[in-house]
Amino acid sequence: MAVGEDVYCTLVMTDSYLPGAAVLAHSLRDAGTTHKLACLVTTDSLSYTTLTELRTLYNYVIPVERIGNSSPANLYLMNRPDLLYAFTKINLWQLEQFRKVVYVDADVVALRAPDELFALEDNFAAAPDVGWPDIFNTGVMALTPHMGDYNALRGLAEAGDSFDGADQGLLNQYYEHRPWKRLSFTYNCTPSASYQYEPAYRYFKREISMVHFIGSEKPWQQDRGGKKGGTGVYRELLSRWWAVWDRQLHVSTQEYVNTGRREPAAKETVKKGDEPEYSATGYPLDYQPTQDAAIPKATTAAEKHPHQADIDAMTTQQPRQRKFSDPYLNWDATRAAPPSSGKPEAANFPSHIYEFSSDTQQFRPPAAYPEPPRDMWYQVPVEKRGQPLPKIFPWEEREAQAQPTRVWVGEEEKEKELEAFGAADEFTVMADDDKDMVEPQTPVIKIDGAPWAAGGLGGVNNMKNAWDEVSGIDDYVRALTRFQKTRGNVQILSPSHHPDDAITASQPSSDAHHSSSRGFGDQSVFSPTTDSSQMPEAAMPGSEDLIERVRERRESLLLTDFPSAVERPSLPVTPAPRRRPTFWGADHEEGEDLGLPAADGVPGQEEWDPDHQLEELRRHSLIGPSDLKLPQREMPKRGRVASAVEVIPEHPPDLNPPQAVQSSTPSVSFSTPDFQPSNSAAPTGSIGSVFETLSQSRVGSTPALAVEEGPFSPLQMDRGEARSS
Ligand SMILES: O=c1ccn([C@@H]2O[C@H](COP(=O)(O)OP(=O)(O)O[C@H]3O[C@H](CO)[C@@H](O)[C@H](O)[C@H]3O)[C@@H](O)[C@H]2O)c(=O)[nH]1
Ligand SMILES: [Mn+2]
């Protein structure tokens, strides 16, 4: 122990005061004192278990000499022969190893820790005694140990000079002529069963630091309810002592005195005479309310309750032997302190102890992981088609023969999409698997109706070819097919029949400037070469059949109705994807097709004047003037179909024709494999060879084939529709 320490100190001379010493120590610690606790013991009168327990409760257990009263007659005056050795308390003044000692009787419970008492400068301080308030009670004392005082007190003790025969009389006599500090009663509040000044208690009770249970019957020697007839004040303060006890010790006070054990033994048998156990109601577990009080019985037959038989049965048959004991709610906080025998709330919590890994090897992933399962996909259930639909509408019921047919919204589009996807997918698989194939097959494009017209492609449903509204063209085509039927199997529209004046639709007009502004920004590219009827005869099988098809197709009068692969077989060239310069110019990185010079003889689109060309056709073709009515109306100066994609500024073609040509073909790019060559004898991919082949079939001079080096390719012009890629 440190020299000059301040300690709380108590005294235990008999085992019977062990419960008091335990509650005092716990109450001071629970109140948060910063000071150490010491206990004076007379070892010869204490059991081993008590001493052991005191060592766990107190920082210092200090054996002292027992000091008895050789003339104990005065003790009998106050009926306390048990205080025969109360003089032992004067050993406190020997404890010079401590600077200050706050002595507290073992029958005291601290409601707060009066640490401020250590700051007292007085050598001795004590609170008044309720029996005679001019003197002090020796249950709580703040003193400065001093051997001089001890020796003086020891002399008094040996003389037996004490008016009560015990330490309180001795010390009051000693300090009767010495300075001492009178402490507040709140430091040593001594309630009694007969306490009568309850208003004062109510007024000051919040300031009470310590409660001292003077008298021969100590809290641990009576039950929680206190003595019979005790005041409310006493019971209230008594419950404070028991609260500390119940919080810290879970055995009966007697067992604690006997064994020094705080927790009940594993197999505890309740002995007779022990404290009663308390149930959820606060009543002892063996408590049974009197049933007579609960259900009053009728005294005479006349007053008999109509259901008296039932009541009698209930009261008599009620099993009296059963004791209710809730396994969890065995404590009513409004009635009693927590049960002393209750288990901790988390007693049955699962516990798991984890250990650190002792593996010193670094983690190394395995060389290979197992292959993921391959057949993990969702098999879309196949819709069963062709099954008769159930009749759900009234008209279907009425008309017996009518087979119900229904088309759900969006079903048609879905089917079309699926078909188109299937075609593209087919091709992709083929291209991947047969990379060394010399001649790829041309997949069949199934176009049922115009997908763009329904808003299917890019959502542009108002796209038309500028040609479509030139009525003269329709007249021309009709006249042509009519003429063709009368003339037999001849080549259609082949300018090679007239090589000298080989003026075709795509040839630059001599007066092209007058329509130079036309076609800019038009998403549709139009050209006579797009029509399959212009394909050379040699390159096509079955001209008669073809003409018929063309005629049929013509009835739609839309150039954007694409010919099928049979009607117009693809040329053996693969159209290169053409990137158009966007408004931001961001697509120039692959711009190999930008800035290329236009092919000789290829007219710029802005130079294309349909009226003029029709006139040319009329003059040079086999159609007579009477067969064809030329349109009389003016063509608009600008593209008639508003461009939804981009607006290309107008260029005068004579300023920069090649660029103008390029910019006027805004919609020729497409990269789908739709038009792969399939039936040409020429080697695939060589435009030159194609040109050669076609030249041999005497169409080489057609301007439509002069696009070999130009920005147009026949295919691109074929697919003159807008394709937003
Ligand atoms: O058998 C005993 C008796 C007393 N003590 C100790 O001595 C103290 C005093 O005895 P206690 O029973 O508390 O006496 P009180 O009933 O408090 O009686 C009053 O009278 C006593 C004798 O004068 C004083 O010591 C007390 O402080 C005073 O409150 C106890 O607290 C114990 O610390 C024992 O250890 N064992
Ligand atoms: Mn006492």
Residue range 85-93: mean pLDDT, rounded:
95
CA of 11 to the centre of ligand 1 (A): 9
**Probe residue for ligand 1, chosen from 105, 140, 218 as the CB with the greatest number of ligand atoms within 8 Å:** 105
Rounded Cα–Cα distance for residues 509 and 503 (Å): 9
Q: What percent of the chain has pLDDT over 90?
A: 29
Distance (Å) from CA 170 to ligand 2 centroid: 15
**525: nearest Cα among 705, 715, 665:** 665
380, 386, 389, 395: CA torsion to nearest 10:
140
pLDDT tens digits for range 273-324: 454 444 343 444 444 433 333 333 333 444 455 555 655 554 444 444 445 5
H-only helix segments in 223-363: 232-248, 253-259, 291-294, 308-317
pLDDT, one tens digit per residue, over 684-724 is 444 444 444 444 444 433 344 333 444 444 444 444 444 44
Highest mean pLDDT among 171-185, 376-390, 566-580: 171-185
Contact 88, 64 (CB under 8 A): yes
Residues with CB under 6 A from ligand 1: 10-14, 17, 82-83, 86, 105-107, 137-139, 164, 166-168, 214-215
Count CB neighbours of 633 within 10 A: 10
CA of 262 to the centre of ligand 1 (A): 24
Q: Which two tokens stand for residue 204?
A: 């000051």
Q: Which residues of 332-347 are buried (b: 16+ CB within 10 A; e: fewer)?
A: eeeebbebbbeeeeee
Mutate which of 79, 83, 164, 183 for ligand 1 pocket (most atoms within 8 A of beta carbon): 83
Q: Which of 378, 401, 381 is nearest to 391 (CA)?
A: 401
Q: Is pLDDT larger for residue 176 or for residue 708? A: 176
Q: Give yes or no for a contact between 665 and 712, defined as CB atoms under 8 angstroms apart.
A: yes
Q: How far apart are CA 531 and CA 554, in angstroms?
A: 10
The least confident of 440-454, 472-486, 557-571 is: 440-454
What is d(CA 638, CA 640) in angstroms, rounded to the nearest whole number?
Answer: 6
Average pLDDT, the chain: 69
Q: Which pLDDT score, from 0 to 100, does residue 232 have?
A: 83
- Beta-bridge partners for 641: none
For residue 703, the model assigns a pLDDT of 41
Q: Bigger pLDDT: 394 or 566?
A: 394
Residue matched to tokens 């206190």? 226
Q: Residue 11: what pLDDT?
A: 97
Question: What is the reported pLDDT for 91?
Answer: 97
pLDDT confidence bin for 551, thresholds 50/70/90: low
What does the alpha-carbon distance between residue 284 and residue 276 come to, in Å, rounded to a whole number?
A: 6
Length of the chain: 725
Alpha carbons 630 and 528: distance in angstroms, whole number: 16
Q: Which residue has the higher pLDDT, 182 or 681?
A: 182
Ligand closest to Cα of 12 equals 1
pLDDT of 153 reads: 95
User: pLDDT at residue 532 above 50?
Assistant: no
**How far apart are the CA of 401 and the centre of ligand 1, in A?**
116
Q: Residue 484: what pLDDT? A: 59
Q: How far apart are alpha carbons 327 and 342 in whole angstroms?
A: 10
Is the predicted pLDDT of residue 255 greater than 80, yes or no?
A: yes
pLDDT at 485: 57
Percent of residues, the chain, with pLDDT higher than 70: 50
Which atom of ligand 1 sits closest to the CA of residue 83? 3
Using DSSP, how many helices (H) and how many strands (E) does the chain show?
Answer: 18, 9
Q: Which residue has the higher pLDDT, 70 or 284?
A: 70
Q: How far is the CA of 27 from the centre of ligand 1 (A)?
A: 19
pLDDT over 80 at 602, yes or no: no
The least confident of 134-148, 158-172, 207-221, 589-603 is: 589-603
Q: Is 624 helix (H, G, I), strand (E, B) or coil?
A: coil
Element spanning 7, H or E = strand 5-12
What is the distance in A from the centroid of ligand 1 to the CA of 13? 10
Q: Quick one: pLDDT band at residue 132, thresholds 50, 70, 90?
A: very high
Task: Tell me which ligand sits closest to the C-alpha of residue 106.
Answer: 1
Which whole number is the average pLDDT over 264-281?
A: 52
CA of 8 to the centre of ligand 1 (A): 16
The runs of H, that is alpha helices, within 228-376 are 232-248, 253-259, 291-294, 308-317
256: nearest Cα among 419, 432, 50, 436: 50
Distance between Cα 213 and ligand 1 center (Å): 10
Instruction: Write out the H or E segment, with its range, that includes residue 104.
Output: strand 98-104
Ligand 1 atom with minimal separation from the 170 CA? 23
Higher pLDDT, 247 or 377: 247
Atom of ligand 1 nearest to the CA of 166: 23
Predicted confidence (pLDDT) per residue in 402-418, tens digit: 677 777 777 777 777 77
Ligand 1 atom index nearest CA of 216: 16
Q: Quick count: other Cβ atoms within 10 Å of Cβ 724?
A: 15
What does the H/E/C string look like for 486-515?
Answer: HHCCCCCCCHHHCCCCCCCCCCCCCCHHHH
Position 455 confidence tier, pLDDT thresholds 50, 70, 90: very low
Phi, psi dihedral angles at 483 (to 5 degrees): -65, -40
The lowest-confidence range among 77-81, 243-247, 341-345, 459-463 is 459-463
Ligand 1 pocket check: which of 12, 15, 17, 50 to mutate, most ligand atoms within 8 Å of Cβ? 17
Is the per-residue pLDDT at 332 higher than 80?
A: no
Ligand 1 mutation target, pool 12, 85, 107, most atoms within 8 A of CB: 107
User: How far, in Å, CA of 438 to CA of 447, rounded?
Assistant: 27
If one compares 196 and 544, the residue with the highest pLDDT of the two is 196
pLDDT value at residue 596: 62
| Residue 59's pLDDT band (cuts 50, 70, 90) | very high
Which numbered ligand comes closest to the C-alpha of 81?
Answer: 1
Q: What distances in angstroms separate CA 407 from CA 146, 394, 401, 404, 422, one per listed residue?
A: 113, 17, 19, 10, 22
Confidence of residue 550 (pLDDT cuts 50, 70, 90): low
Q: Whose CA is nearest to atom 34 of ligand 1?
A: 13
* Cα 364 to middle of ligand 2, angstroms: 74
- Coil vs helix vs strand at 179: coil
Examine the pLDDT at 674 and tell me if it is beyond 90. no
- Tell me which residue of 595, 584, 592, 577 sits closest to 659, measured CA to CA: 595
Nearest CA to ligand 1 atom 15: 214
Nearest ligand to the C-alpha of residue 11? 1
End-to-end CA distance of the chain: 93
pLDDT digits 0-9 by tens, 184-210: 999 999 998 787 788 999 999 999 999
Per-residue pLDDT band for 226 (boundaries 50, 70, 90) equals confident
Q: Which atom of ligand 1 is nearest to the CA of 164?
A: 23
- Residue nearest (by alpha carbon) to ligand 1 atom 3: 83
Q: Which atom of ligand 1 is nearest to the CA of 78?
A: 20
User: What integer pLDDT is reported at residue 557 of this predicted model?
Assistant: 53
**Ligand 2 midpoint to CA 161 (Å):** 20
Cβ atoms of 685 and 441 within 8 Å: the answer is no
| Kind plus residue range of the DSSP H or E element containing 126 | strand 124-128
CA of 22 to the centre of ligand 2 (A): 14
**Cβ within 8 Å of residue 81, ≥6 positions away:** 72, 75
User: What phi and psi, each to the nearest 5 degrees, are found at residue 334?
Assistant: -80, -10
> What is the mean predicted confidence (pLDDT) over 230-235?
82
**529's tokens:** 């070469």
Pick the ligand that lies closest to the CA of residue 105.
Answer: 1
Evaluate the CA torsion angle 606, 611, 616, 621 in order and state its sign.
positive
CB-count burial class (<10 Å; 0-12, 13-18, 19+) for 229: exposed
Tell me: ipTM over 0.90.
yes
Q: 189: buried, middle or exposed (CB in 10 Å: 19+, 13-18, 0-12)?
A: buried
Least distant ligand from the CA of 210: 2
pLDDT at 646 over 70: no
Question: Residue with structure tokens 């699962």?
Answer: 350
